[in-house]
Structure 1
Amino acid sequence: MSIEKVREYFKKWNMENRIMEFDVSSATVELAAKALNCEPARIAKTLALKAADEGVILIVAAGDAKIDNQKFKAKFGIKPRMLSPDEALAMVGHPVGGICPFAVNEGVRTYLDISLRRFETVFPACGSGNSAIELTIEELETCSCSREWVNVCKGWE
């Protein structure tokens, strides 16, 4: 299971016990915010998109942000296209609803969107549709192995 991969992944920072599992679904921003009793914007959703080389780009963004097609194309040289559920599981290593920037398959490139920077802590999923972890922005930077901060979203300003 993906959550076990993520739990193992977090052991290198002694953070595996911070992963929360819920009796209810947290597979969407709205459901996660309800499960965590927080504002939806603080959910760090991970969007899995096709890269120009047929690889995968993960964009971790605030729950109230949406991909801006023009900004994404300017940054990555292609129109954003979400992976299908089957593609996401095969290419990222986590199912839709639990996609996260932790313990992903080799070659997956992760980027953090600036929409997250307005929060002290955020809640990304942990590989399943009923899990999350609260991380500071600095912890998210470290644990996600992100390549860089990007500005490819809209609707959150």
Structure 2
Amino acid sequence: MSKATRATSALLKAGVSFTVRTYDYDPDARQIGLQAAEALGADPGRVLKTLMATVDGKPVCAIVPSNREVSMKRLAAALGGKSASMLAPAEAERITGYVVGGISPFGQNRRCPVAIEESALAHERVYINGGQRGVQLDLSPTDAAHFLEAIVASIAS
């Protein structure tokens, strides 16, 4: 498993501080984010999952704690839209250039609007996918939100 990905390259280029953490990815896990939290020995509220959706038909990225779900209504409102829905896995892979289970908000093929759950910013450090299955990046959620030019809002239920 390589620790160098488009995500790590993008963060390094921007001067964002992070640490790479690897774990044994379980492709059969019911909830990938919760499996990552358990494998890392981390609070599930600090392990953030990256979800790809659409708001009014346009792709967006939602980042929420692994133990919560994204509210489509709140996501649409946060990004100034009327409706939101999850992208099909194949479409998410095509837009991001990453494989499901390894989708990172950093270094995606196609830049799209990002919303991050506001409760994530209460933590000093969080884990966000590093662009490969079994790779998590330990970084400041404020740094992540700033780098992504993310909308910080209550988008999780």
TM-score (norm 1): 0.82
Q: What is the rounded CA distance, in whole Å, between the counterparts of 2:111 and 2:144 in structure 1? A: 19
Is 2:116 the counterpart of 1:93?
Answer: no
Q: What's the % identity of the aligned pairs?
A: 20
Q: What is the rounded CA distance, in whole Å, between the counterparts of 1:2 and 1:103 in structure 2? A: 14
Aligned position for 1:7: 8
Q: What is the rounded CA distance, in whole Å, between the counterparts of 2:125 and 2:73 in structure 1? A: 28
- Flag the 1:34–1:14 CA change in 2: closer, same or farther, 3 A: same
Is 2:118 the counterpart of 1:114?
Answer: yes
Q: What is the rounded CA distance, in whole Å, between the counterparts of 2:74 and 2:85 in structure 1? A: 14
Q: Can you give the 5+ residue segments of structure 1 that lack an aligned partner in the other structure?
A: none
- Flag the 1:148–1:73 CA change in 2: closer, same or farther, 3 A: closer
Q: 1:74: how far off?
A: 3.2
Question: Which one of the candidate residues 27, 41, 44 is aligned to 2:45?
Answer: 41
Aligned position for 2:25: 25
Q: For 1:29, what is the secondary structure of its paired residue?
A: helix
Aligned position for 1:150: 153
Aligned position for 1:69: 72
- Flag the 1:113–1:26 CA change in 2: closer, same or farther, 3 A: farther
Q: What is the rounded CA distance, in whole Å, between the counterparts of 2:140 and 2:3 in structure 1? A: 22
- Flag the 1:8–1:73 CA change in 2: closer, same or farther, 3 A: closer
Q: Can you give the 5+ residue segments of structure 2 that lack an aligned partner in the other structure?
A: none
For residues 94-151 of structure 1, what are the alpha-carbon distances to aligned partners after superposition, in whole Å with 9 as ceiling and x for unaligned?
11111121001233111211121221111001111110011112221233x2332122
RMSD between superposed Cα atoms in Å? 2.4
Q: For 2:122, what is the secondary structure of its paired residue?
A: coil
Is 2:108 the counterpart of 1:104?
Answer: yes
2:115 maps to a residue whose letter is Y
Q: 1:69: how far off?
A: 3.4
Q: What is the rounded CA distance, in whole Å, between the counterparts of 2:26 and 2:39 in structure 1? A: 6
Greater helix content: 1
Q: 1:5: how far off?
A: 1.3
Q: 1:15: how far off?
A: 4.3
TM-score (norm 2): 0.82
